[in-house]
Amino acid sequence: MAISIPILFESADILAVCKPEGLTSIPGSEKGKDTLVEMLSKQYDQKLFVVHRLDKDVSGVMLFARNAAAHKCLNDQFAAHTVKKTYLALVHGCPEPTQGVINKPIHKFGSGRMGVDQLRGKPSKTEYEVVEAFGKFSLVKAQPLTGRTHQIRVHFYSIGHPIAGDRLYGDKASQAACPRLMLHAQSIAFKLTSGEEKTVEAPLPETFTAVMESLRG
């Protein structure tokens, strides 16, 4: 059955969509499987330029450029760290303090796993704020100030509050009890090629809200 990709914003230059969890963003190690960029390229019958990515199990807003000029415009913004990305994550426990910055360098280890490494890691910062407590869980708003692979996942794991449903970081038994990785790219703020500021938001999918509702009782 074909996957329907919600379109959040489109212009002659830029396409913003809501990626569902379980779908790979761009071609990689999983040969022969559909990817988001390939599906959209076929749907629009044009080449789309990749400017960033989301992990396979993360849902939420993702941008693509529709021409070379827009590609450069967005790439320059990502390189300058002027793109503002906001995520929602359901984490185990409740971080203390409930608002702050996780400033820990991240390094790539074997098998694609990332981790905090004070000597070899690259500088990595994540701002966060607890939005709501769910007993043994908390809903957290997180804004990565750098763009390291698995950054939000690694940072919350490093402070003892792994993201629920994360099969790579955290206790395997308790993580497997959650039906999905509870990390969602809620919004992204950037500038259009015209210079106009634009914010695109992606609503929480039912797979995410259903878990929260079950915890609220």
Picking from 186, 194, 204, 188, the residue whose alpha carbon sits closest to that of residue 11 is 194
Residue 211, token pair as written in the block: 């878990």
Q: Which of 13, 34, 45, 55 is catalytic?
A: 55
Q: What is the amino acid identity at position 59?
A: S
Q: Which residues contact 150 (CB under 8 A, 6 or more apart)?
A: 55, 106, 114, 168, 169
Count H helices and E strands in the chain, helices first: 5, 12
Per 3-state DSSP, the chain is made up of helix, strand and coil in percentages (nearest 5) of 20, 35, 45
Q: Assess whether 34 carries a catalytic annotation.
A: no
Interatomic CA distance for residues 203 and 67, integer angstroms: 27
DSSP E strand stretches across the chain: 7-10, 14-19, 49-50, 59-65, 84-92, 99-103, 106-108, 114-116, 125-134, 137-144, 183-191, 197-201
Q: What DSSP string describes 9-54?
A: EE-SSEEEEEEPTT-BSS-SSSTTS-BHHHHHHHHHTS--EE----
Please list the active-site residues.
55
